[in-house]
Amino acid sequence: MIALNVSFSQNISIVHPEYFFITGLSGIPYSSYYYIFLFFTYFIAVIGNSVVLFIIALDRSLHSPKYIGVFNLALADIGETNSLIPNMMKTFLFESQYISYNGCLVNMYFVFLFGSMQSFTLVVLAFDRFIAICLPLRYHAIVTNTSMSLIFSAIWACNAFLIALTVSLLTRISFCKSNVIQSYFCDHGPVYRLACNDNSSNIFMASLNTALYLVAPLSIIVLSYVGILLALSRITTWEGRIKALKTCVSHLLLVGVFFLPIICPYIAEIMFALSLNARIISTSLAFVVPPTLNPIIYVLNTAEIKDLIQKFLKNRSAPLG
């Protein structure tokens, strides 16, 4: 067991460790190759999402409500990968598995802030598709650049507050048994379970965040598509239905890529007793796969972005003079 160096706050009953120790994968030969794989996905995610941000920012034709949502999704993807992957590389490839108490809380805050933004952005994009298909005549009156900007400003502010509250409540618990975090980063659950005093408020916040950022968004998205399917059933021609449904393909793929890697470990946990290594691999993939695939999905399924990239490549390859 790692020796626990503690520092006391002004309230003598609260004990905080000077450092935490993050276990990561254990007992797996060549586990460093897995972290190197995650590092490659990090580069793909950063480059891909940076390209999406760059295109949307520079091309005025993409300054529309839908692409305000796509811009925020790409921004959240970059934020999440930057807050998670470089720290993992430092921790496990350079054998620096100790992290300071304050550094742990900061790392936790940014990972969960950007993760929550991904979830809520998918809800806003579902709202965009719902209005476009179910209320097409009122779309431009309801979904405007101003309304989308206000919605995302409110989401960023609310998420920043809720995640800050979640993290700040960890400062009220004592860590007097162990400072070993059974995860691959400063994950909220493994941290608050180390408490040796009352952690009921932390358990409540964990349940609230699961409901707010997983259950509620997925439920809202499913209900929005039920409404979309009902609206499509009123379209008389199959060509019209398919044309309307095609506008939802990118969003449906994004929803699947984001939620399936998160939900599958939950289901597996209920059916089987997942080992720590299996849990780490599944949850780490759930964090890194969506930011890597999201820009690819949008480039391949969005005609406007594909056309802009093709024009750029043609201009670069055209002979001078």
Domain ranges of the chain: 30-78+115-174+199-317
Place 160 in a pLDDT band, splitting at 50, 70 and 90.
very high
Q: Is 85 exposed, middle or buried (0-12, 13-18, 19+ CB in 10 A)?
A: buried
Q: How far apart are CA 310 and CA 235, in angstroms?
A: 34
218 vs 123: CA distance, rounded Å = 8
**pLDDT tier for residue 294 given thresholds of 50, 70 and 90:** confident
Residue 223 neighbours by CB distance under 10 Å:
12
Residues 76-88: tens digit of each pLDDT: 999 999 999 988 8
Whole-number pLDDT of residue 177:
78
pLDDT at 9 over 50: no
- Residue 313 pLDDT class (50, 70, 90 cuts): low
Q: How far apart are CA 283 and CA 272, in angstroms?
A: 16
pLDDT range class, residue 119, cuts 50, 70, 90:
very high
Mean pLDDT of 215-225: 94
Pairing of strands 6-8, 15-17: antiparallel
Contacts of 217 (CB under 8 A, 6+ apart): 119, 120, 122, 123
CA gap 112, 167 in Å, rounded: 10
- One of 1.20.1290.10, 2.70.150.10, 1.20.1070.10, 3.30.310.50 is the CATH number of 30-78+115-174+199-317, namely 1.20.1070.10
Q: Are 62 and 91 in contact (CB under 8 A)?
A: no
The length of the chain, given as a count of residues: 321
Calpha distance 111→76 (Å, rounded):
10
The amino acid that residue 274 corresponds to is L
Amino acid identity of residue 102, one-letter, is N
Measured CA to CA, the distance from residue 76 to residue 55 in angstroms comes to 16
